Amino acid sequence: MIPFFDIKAENKVHIDSFTKELQLFMHSGQYIMGDAVRNFEQKYAAFCGSNYCVGTSNGLDALRLIFEGYKSLGQLQDGDEVLVPAHTYIATALAVIQSGLKPVFVEPSDGSFNMDVEQAEQLTTSSVKACLVVHLYGQLVDVNLFRTFAKKHGILLIEDAAQAHGAVSQNGQKAGAIGDAAAFSFYPTKNIGALGDAGAVTTNNELLAKEIKTLQNYGSPKKYVHEKVGFNMRLDALQARFLSLKLVNYTTDCERRIAIASRYLDEINNSKILLPTCELDGSHVFHLFVVRVANRNDFMEFLTTRGVGSLVHYPIPPHKQKALSEYNQLSLPLTKKYHNEVVSIPLYTSLSENQVQHIIDVLNAY
């Protein structure tokens, strides 16, 4: 059986270096924050092409800290509206709601999984103060379109780049350096995955970076001095060490993902399966390879009986979740259609060529 994702195989190549780093961590005496976190923040800022990076406890907290930071700076206030994709993981909307802001759900564009800028335009009122784009499944939104849109309306452009580590636009800018601020997740299954929860904020805004550093550490700019009502949302020092190690070989890992995706796009030929619309120019780093099928249950059962794992990202859209009951009555037909049809097939660096070929053969046989 080819699992949908093999986390042990993905981390196997790092075991020796992880073990060494764990020993160094134990002997360092710096178990919270410290040099390891600062070192990773510097490396990841450089990787993204941003001026600042602040490591956080996870991706949701990274998003939350961006909004709380802008509120603390007076650029957002309770009740402001934020455009968010309707087709995404619920964390995107949760960060907005938990920050005292209001999500405005925007449909994806037909043929893409990302937010439709034309509908965003239609939904923008004087109450909308930010646009939170998600580079879903690892694919950048249309950078130029959304930058122009945000500038036109004088609103913040914030990236949920939780799945898009290293994705690069045609003008050479990477996820994390496209908007005013960006949030990343390093959940273990992400392209750059920690061995637990971890996240980061990147930005070119020095004031925002400083505000987030204070807010994430109990509102304290220095020990026992508390200027804000803050949080405990710090990046774990051990995870920072692991992430610094993984960052070294990430370009090679990313190339492997794109190579597998290229084979899928070229060699899967089945009228019952709709392949994603994307380019192989680095703007998609294929955190997930998501296809669409009309009869999803039948398709997934077919894969299982032939030794191929699969998963649904995501079966229930955020606006239909019980937790967001006030939005349950929204009519978002394209989002509903996508959530009923999407299936993620295996794509990760440790897949062998024989396994890739088997996946292709099985999908073509459906």
For the chain, the domains span 7-248, 250-365
- Calpha distance 119→166 (Å, rounded): 27
Q: Are strands 52-56 and 342-345 parallel, antiparallel or unpaired?
A: unpaired
Mean pLDDT of 184-195: 97
Q: How confident is the model at residue 250 (pLDDT cuts 50, 70, 90)?
A: very high
Q: Inform me whether the pLDDT recorded for 302 exceeds 90.
A: yes
Q: Inform me whether the pLDDT recorded for 26 exceeds 90.
A: no
Q: Where are the alpha helices (DSSP H) in 165-284?
A: 206-216, 237-248, 250-267
Q: How confident is the model at residue 170 (pLDDT cuts 50, 70, 90)?
A: confident
Residue with tokens 């930005």, as numbered in its chain: 203
Mean pLDDT of 258-265: 98
Distances (CA, A) of 92 to 173, 179, 242, 328: 22, 16, 26, 16
- Calpha distance 177→49 (Å, rounded): 6
Fold for domain 250-365? Aspartate Aminotransferase, domain 1 (3.90.1150)
**The Cα angle at residue 6 between residues 59 and 274, in degrees rounded to 5:** 80
Kindly report, residue by residue over 317-344, the tens digit of the pLDDT: 999 999 999 999 999 999 999 999 999 9
Mean pLDDT of 220-248: 93
Q: Do 7-248 and 250-365 agree at the fold level?
A: no
Q: Inform me whether the pLDDT recorded for 242 exceeds 90.
A: yes
Partnered with residue 108 across adjacent β-strands are 115
Fold for domain 7-248? Aspartate Aminotransferase; domain 2 (3.40.640)
pLDDT at 111: 78
Residue with tokens 């992880």, as numbered in its chain: 18
Q: How confident is the model at residue 222 (pLDDT cuts 50, 70, 90)?
A: confident
pLDDT at 110: 79
pLDDT at 235: 97
Kindly report, residue by residue over 190-205, the tens digit of the pLDDT: 999 999 999 999 999 9
> Residue 322 has which token pair?
């019980």
Kindly report, residue by residue over 102-158, the tens digit of the pLDDT: 999 999 997 789 999 999 999 999 999 999 999 999 999 999 999 999 999 999 999
Q: Inform me whether the pLDDT recorded for 171 exceeds 90.
A: no
Rounded percentage of the chain residues whose pLDDT exceeds 70: 100
pLDDT at 112: 85
Mean pLDDT of 21-25: 89
Distances (CA, A) of 174 to 1, 115, 282, 321: 35, 18, 9, 32
DSSP, collapsed to helix, strand or coil, labels residue 231 as coil
Q: How confident is the model at residue 166 (pLDDT cuts 50, 70, 90)?
A: very high
Kindly report, residue by residue over 38-94, the tens digit of the pLDDT: 999 999 999 999 999 999 999 999 999 999 999 999 999 999 999 999 999 999 999
> What is the edge-to-edge ordering of all strands in the sheet holding 181-185?
52-56, 199-203, 181-185, 156-160, 128-134, 81-85, 102-106
